[in-house]
Structure 1
Amino acid sequence: MNFGQAISTCFSKYATFSGRASRSEFWWFMLFEVILLGVTSAISDILYGIVALALVLPVLAVGARRLHDIGRTGWWQLLSLTIIGSLVLLYWFVQPTVEGSNEYDAVAA
């Protein structure tokens, strides 16, 4: 999946927390978010706030789908509230896809 496809996929699944997201989809969307937030913060604090708020759901959704792809529940994203938990999430996000179906595929739309 390339940069454009990842952005398109994530916005088409804006608030879809079921299913799977590949590593490339997740990381390309994270790069898009960082670039977009960096540009908007240089322009205006208000614009930054609006964009950050608009990206909350797709970022959480792609994170949940990425965790499903490695066989974990999306609720593990709550670990990001701690520093150590963020490091654990980072480790999980870089893991390869777990082949076969898992319990989170059953809830896929």
Structure 2
Amino acid sequence: MSDDGTNQGWGNGRPNGQQPPQPQWSGQQGWPQQAPGGQQAPGGTQAPGWPQQQQAPAWQQGPGWQQQPGWQPPRPIPLDEAGVPPLWAPWYGAGIGDAIGRFFRKYARFDGRASRSEFWWWFLTNAIIAAILGAAVAVIVTTTGTREMSTDVYGRTTSQLHTDSIWWLIPIWLWAAWFLGTAVGNIALMVRRLHDVNLSGFFAFFFVNTLGWIVLWVMAMLSPNPNGQRFDRPQG
């Protein structure tokens, strides 16, 4: 069976050369262009150019959807001639030197926001300093200490490294001084990073235990949220 008009009872012997009836909405190549009454293409197939009607999302329907609760248009951040944002604004794309300098310049500021680059460059700096001081302790104890063998009541032998030197305390004191000296700044930076993802800074109190630190690190990985600009203080 073919579609050349010889089927459905319209054979070669049709009277007076009468053609089979064609739908009024048939277009080129048999595809409908404008079906009456909203009819669809045969078999549910839609050809190129067939009109499509898409309904806007519910939050875009009707005027004034931009004024939905909590929605704020992004505020442009002014930059100076060197491309540096003011202190009250986050610095997206900051380098490690920029992040360290901004950490100390905004040491005790709990308002505003901090970008992921500001936060994680400073986190890396802290990790490097802790690793250097820890390695210094290990080197001092290893080079100045002696191993003492001991046997317990069950006959098990253990080895302990013992040193009479006090030099290994110097890196410990330095690390303690660094930790205490940057404690307020670390908390303030975490609060600003939470603000950048539009979360309350009170989540920073999660640092009281190990699980809380993990939760905070996950939060610090989140992308910026424009609604977080509600924490900005441009006058500051």
Question: Shorter-chain-normalised TM-score: which range?
Answer: 0.7 to 0.9
CA distance change for structure 1 residues 103 and 74 in 2, over 3 Å: closer, same or farther?
A: same
Question: Normalized against structure 2, the TM-score is what?
Answer: 0.43
**What amino acid is the match of 1:20?**
R
> Which has the larger share of strand?
2
Runs of 4+ with >4 A deviation: none
Shift of 1:87: 2.4
| Structure number with higher helix proportion | 1
How far, CA to CA, are the matches of 1:108 and 1:98 in structure 2?
A: 21
Residue of structure 1 equivalent to 2:204: 77
8 Å CA contact 1:79–1:89 kept in 2: the answer is: yes
Of structures 1 and 2, the larger Rg is shown by 2
Q: Match for residue 38 of structure 1?
A: 131
Equivalent pair of 1:64/1:77 in contact (CA under 8 Å): yes
Which residue does 1:49 correspond to in 2? 176
Structure 2, unaligned runs of 5 or more: 1-93, 138-170
- Name the counterpart of 2:223: 96
**Which residue identity lines up with residue 113 of structure 2 in the other structure?**
R
Deviation at 1:50, TM superposition (A): 0.6
**Aligned-pair identity (%):** 31
Larger mean Cα displacement after TM superposition, 79-88 or 26-35: 79-88
Match of 1:28 among 102, 121, 129: 121
Question: Post-superposition shift, 1:98?
Answer: 0.2
Whole-angstrom distance in 1 between the partners of 2:235 and 2:189: 13
Tell me how many residue pairs correspond in the alignment.
109
2:99, 2:121 within 8 Å by CA — same for their partners in 1? Answer: yes
Q: With the length of structure 1 as denominator, give the TM-score of the two structures.
A: 0.87
> Partner of 1:13 in structure 2?
106
Distance in 2 (CA, whole Å) between partners of 1:27 and 1:36 is 14
Which structure is higher in RCO with an 8 Å CA cutoff and minimum separation 6?
Answer: 1
Gap regions ≥5 residues in structure 1: none
Change over 3 Å in CA distance of 1:101–1:59 after alignment to 2: closer
